[in-house]
Chain A
């Protein structure tokens, strides 16, 4: 009887433990957003890139593909990065998962991160990248140990790409004709 009880208890603990690990990202993300509600606020000002250098996007960017890779790097240790996207309905930034299903990740020993996301909107996608020292998560202060950067990544229609290409070709061919 005791054996059965211990077995069931172990099983329950194991399942609970696994679930905690699986949802750890989400919980931490949500805790952070609850604690620092200004992170979700559209009007929150960006900071300098003093913890992490974001190399992609580099300012507001346009792309023709919904799959987009966000990149950055740091020479500092113990840096955690969180990804948010602006939700028009909720009128605030919400967690945005990359293709690994992570909203939040630590920058590894290489100092470089590359994370693929699927941009949900045709047109503008307002993405916010938050970086902070992970052991200071309970007392984050913007510009001190918290970096906030917002970007607009627009997904353009492939028709525009074709139009640009055709237009460019026509113009260059016309110029070639003139100067031949």
Chain B
């Protein structure tokens, strides 16, 4: 009897050893690839236990909302703090949800790209993303459960025209960067009616302080020596505007880290790496950057606040997935560290879907509703010589493959700037500053006033500049003149 029990005991031990060896193999396998050592078990139930990412709506935001009475009239830009901003955004998202669900569409028509230029100079409310947002991201943003088929695969800009339809309906125009699509929908019974839209425009005109004009209204369509997108807004006259003094610094936790102190390094590891910190080794690079790494991941934090992340193992190109799946991985990554960036909102500013096996997402900062530009920001250690955005992330549906993130803290200083928003010399100034430009290699996609931030370990007082974006994705900056120097 006793002998029989001993054999059984050995059997149990053997079974346990087999099981633990599987677990060990699983742990090592997972360790070589990604995440926590228990992820190999979690992966079995991946869909049900996937960590909730940063909410899509926290990062996929409208870049600009504007309104106009029509041709040759002022265009007003409404920022997020404007009393009508939320109301107008709710309106367009209501109609957009209906459109994506294929509900209540009374009519539709497809137009050329040029037609978008005609739409924005009618009595309209125009809503712009900074980049074309694909339908699967929009469906996630608006929680559309049963999306209808659409002729377009994404939306770059939209416009609501409450007054043009003769049958008392509202028109929603969608522009995907190549074509314009018009839809007729009934007015939202719980939303704004024609008169309310009109009242908003009247109120904007009555309080007219600072306004814009569509460049094409002055330049004519297809009359310029180079291509100009049909909806570029520039300040209407030789006015000046008061700009806040935006102060930009490296986050305190990085700034105050003593790289020779183990405690400091542990503190920063806990802040930046979270659960990953236990299995990473750390060291200090030749350029005094803090490096954390394991066989599959590397984090490098430079003194100017630049965080460089790399996934070091091979990734499967078949894991590219959809844009929303990859975006969710990118947002998880950002959400874990977003509190290092203080005083700024992060918004999705670009999507490149053409990469083999992954997507590239870019994000930028807005400080007090003002965009901040990091143009030609040097990132000397990687393949790229520089980045043009605050965050550049490569991700597939499973993981983030690499990331450049310029971590900064922002605050408002006390020295307000009186800057002349005089647009009339703008193009000559661009051609003067970049003397290799000519009519054949120049075009205009957008003109934006942004605060320009440069690579620095020290505190910077940012100044507003004109940022000119060309249709082939290049950026040029032109200094804005101080009012005193006009």
Contact = CB atoms under 8 A, between A and B. Distances in A.
A67 B237 contact: yes
Contacts of A56: 217-220
B431 A53 contact: no
Nearest to B425: A108
A53 B221 CA distance: 12
Nearest to B216: A55
Given A110-B430, A114-B218, A172 B163 contact: yes
Residue in A69, A110, A116, A175 whose Cβ sees the most chain B Cβ within 10 Å: A110
A87 to B, nearest CB: 24
Contacts of B431: 108-110
B237 A116 contact: yes
Contact of A169 (B198, B220, B225, B226): B198
Contacts of A55: 218-220, 223-224
Contacts of A19: none
Contacts of B226: 111
A155 B439 CA distance: 35
B237 A75 contact: no
A114 B425 CA distance: 8
Interface in A95-137: 99, 108-116
Contacts of B317: none
A39 B118 CA distance: 37
B384 interface: no
B428 A108 contact: yes
Tell me whether chain B's interface is mostly helix, strand or loop, or mixed: loop
A155 to B, nearest CB: 13
Contacts of A114: 218, 423-424
A71 B219 contact: yes
A149 B225 CA distance: 20
A125 to B, nearest CB: 16
Interface string A28-66: 000000000000000000000000010110100001000
B168 A75 contact: no
B227 to A, nearest CB: 13
A112 B225 contact: yes
Contacts of B52: none
B319 interface: no
A99 B423 CA distance: 13
B166 A175 contact: yes
B432 A73 contact: no
6 smallest CB-CB distances across A and B, nearest first, come from A108-B428, A110-B427, A109-B431, A55-B220, A111-B225, A114-B424
8 contacts: A67-B237, A69-B213, A71-B219, A73-B219, A109-B431, A110-B427, A110-B431, A111-B225
Given A110-B431, A111-B224, A114-B423, 16 more contacts: A55-B218, A55-B224, A69-B237, A73-B223, A73-B225, A75-B225, A108-B431, A108-B432, A109-B432, A110-B430, A112-B225, A113-B424, A114-B424, A116-B237, A175-B166, A179-B166
